[in-house]
Structure 1
């Protein structure tokens, strides 16, 4: 009798295993719903189009899009992670990746890549490496961004100033800004904002031979004279040359909004703003983009997003098929046509042709002099330290040197604890 019961139990176990296996296999081929979280409303229509194309191949996998503005995005994700309710697939960036990977919130995808024999050669190695933690891959690259100097052709023409080009040095930017600034009409030559570090002061630090964080992620760069000088030159646009709106003004009205309304003639801004400037009738007709001016060298920050799968996703097979499609040549081409630089090599031509009235080649050229976005395990902690203290310097409460000294000390404390 015991033998009979043993056989029955064994058969029951095998049936259960088989059922679970079928259920997992059916996730990608059967009816299932997955959630996809992102933060850029400018890309919403393009993402809807990608989902429609995905459903041509996988009609039984339903994708629910979840838009959350960037300033709320990671707060919402952190709360969802704590409660075990992360979206199945979601956008990830460099500053937050290590935190999520090291806390076992993301699904490793090495085995998926190997099983599908997925060719990774079309993706830039730097972007693949950005989403690797302890030699494990967690994301496929979606896109990348570099930074250029956007300028208003109408304002330049009215002031009789030549457009920016590859010969421009920092002094040329200052000189042109002085000629373009018209206090009587509340028009400024440039906007020296700091709200978006990637698009603003990170670039003057790098171009002045400074650095934000050391390559080994152990030291702050804010005690380096080149870093401090790079910040000072950017700060001087407001407080010395008076060719930029004040920090208070740009806290009330975003620098990009001022640029879109013709109140600012030049703006450091990343390629991710192309869809917004393209959609705005005024900027679509009146602005263009050039290389950033050279300081001690020409340099800028490069960063790219990755699509990741939640470790606790109940639909991992379906999620993987979607992630794989999101990083495919087809999806990359659709991104390119919408104005986003795709990570998939060979599809940038479509991106260049997507907006012929903008000199998008400038962003590809800036990629050749780009340096990785500065990150560590607790990027958010020291990023807040930088932002809080630079805001005090930009509003005149302390000098750039004083702010840099505080940042350096506080940032190194954070790095020591990592």
Structure 2
């Protein structure tokens, strides 16, 4: 779920003419269907093992349990290997360029289009058509559509996520500040953070906002105030509009009472929070377990994200409280020897049975609609309903993307984008100029796609 810059050398893939070599689990053959189906409908697979790569160690135990359930039914062993985010994409790119590649793996909105366009992913379209367990309308539309290219489906929705506000009850109590509620606006968050920072003489920061983590941070304010990072047709942006500038002005104010970006870059928001140096952070549902199992977890609590009272009526109306949502996709290497086996595993992960168990185990919220209530009840003693209420009582928008998201996403974080404004939040003029620059950066990047 991290959003760092990815460099995909797809020209190397095309030049090499190599697509989807397997790591030896399902084999390195021509990708023909080697599964045999008997008269009674049971299947005999040609492979005895499927390898999976993921990047989140928090999810590995639960996903392995679900995979083991499928193994008990299929007779095919499943091995899940965790590789850190940066190395995950480096190794996957190397595999796409002619090296070893896992059989099944996660796809992300930053990279999906390039992988889909270059023949690296197994086309799941025909398998889905023959599978009664997978019905498009049962899944979150944004996640399903993300992994569709030219009418072909290359991944199935693994999950979806939302964003909430995490706070330290002990810090709020120590400095006499009321804890966050569902009635909080972003101005309320600013005032609370300001009070904590000032009363502690800077020993404790009221909040920490990592500007490089757009999905769980500043993107949400942009939508609350009525602008869009990327328009719904994926052909433009309104970040330089009056509404966009109002949103980013609020971001600027929050940065003035939070941990400096130099501190955040060195330590990270999660570490600052868990070390008791920060009163609040915003975070995604995929990170709940890290805080649930933390040493001081009894001091932690979740609330829905604040809202922007744009009409000034003192209540949260439709369109004033947004949470970004994103979703990973289960994909397979196009060159596996037994694509039916790989698809059947993916189908099981994404079936109602697999999705409900994923939620009950607290792995993540489902890519299938209607199963997230089980996720909210998975963390005994910690109320995480803010994540499910974000979509029940607020509004969702899908994480902004275009064909080459990393191009403009990276540029926004550099000099000439928002970097100067984020590092010098005391100057409102810098933020206004940055919004104008961001408008042009995104427009130019889309035009070049």
Q: TM-score range by the shorter chain?
A: 0.7 to 0.9
Asked if the contact 1:190–1:265 (Cα under 8 Å) also holds between the matched residues in 2, the reply is yes
- Aligned pairs (5 A) from 1:282-361: 282=296, 284-295=297-308, 296=310, 297-339=320-362, 340-361=364-385
CA distance in 1, matches of 2:177, 2:361: 31
Q: CA RMSD in A?
A: 2.2
- Aligned pairs (5 A) from 1:125-144: 125-144=141-160
CA distance in 1, matches of 2:448, 2:56: 33
Larger mean CA deviation between 172-181 and 244-253 belongs to 172-181
Residue 28 (structure 1) shift: 5.3
CA distance in 1, matches of 2:399, 2:113: 13
Give the SS at the match of 2:377.
helix
Residue 378 (structure 1) shift: 0.4
CA distance in 2, matches of 1:111, 1:189: 52
CA distance in 2, matches of 1:365, 1:114: 33
Give the SS at the match of 2:142.
helix
Give the SS at the match of 2:397.
strand
- Aligned pairs (5 A) from 1:7-406: 23-25=34-36, 29-59=45-75, 61-83=76-98, 85-120=100-135, 121-181=137-197, 182-184=199-201, 186-239=203-256, 243-282=257-296, 284-295=297-308, 296=310, 297-339=320-362, 340-367=364-391, 368-388=394-414, 389-396=417-424, 399-406=430-437
**What runs of 5+ residues in structure 2 fail to find an aligned partner?**
1-30, 38-42, 311-319
CA distance in 1, matches of 2:88, 2:46: 30
**What runs of 5+ residues in structure 1 fail to find an aligned partner?**
1-19
Cα gap change, 1:393/1:73 in structure 2, threshold over 3 Å: closer, same or farther? farther
Give the SS at the match of 1:210.
coil
Residue 268 (structure 1) shift: 1.2
> TM-score by structure 1 length?
0.88
Deviation sequence 1:44-99 (CA, Å, 0-9, x none): 2112212222211122x222323221233223322221226432111112222112
Residue 146 (structure 1) shift: 0.6
Deviation sequence 1:86-144 (CA, Å, 0-9, x none): 32111112222112112222122121012223342432233222222222222211111
CA distance in 2, matches of 1:144, 1:82: 30
Give the SS at the match of 1:237.
helix
Asked if the contact 2:35–2:45 (Cα under 8 Å) also holds between the matched residues in 1, the reply is no
Match in the other structure for 2:317: none
CA distance in 1, matches of 2:62, 2:283: 21
Cα gap change, 1:161/1:183 in structure 2, threshold over 3 Å: closer, same or farther? closer
Q: Choose the corresponding residue for 2:442, options 407, 411, 415.
A: 411
Cα gap change, 1:49/1:22 in structure 2, threshold over 3 Å: closer, same or farther? closer
CA distance in 2, matches of 1:392, 1:309: 41
Give the SS at the match of 1:354.
coil
Residue 21 (structure 1) shift: 7.7
Asked if the contact 2:225–2:246 (Cα under 8 Å) also holds between the matched residues in 1, the reply is yes
> How many corresponding residue pairs?
394
Give the SS at the match of 1:413.
helix
Asked if the contact 1:275–1:338 (Cα under 8 Å) also holds between the matched residues in 2, the reply is no
Residue 230 (structure 1) shift: 1.2
Asked if the contact 2:226–2:243 (Cα under 8 Å) also holds between the matched residues in 1, the reply is yes
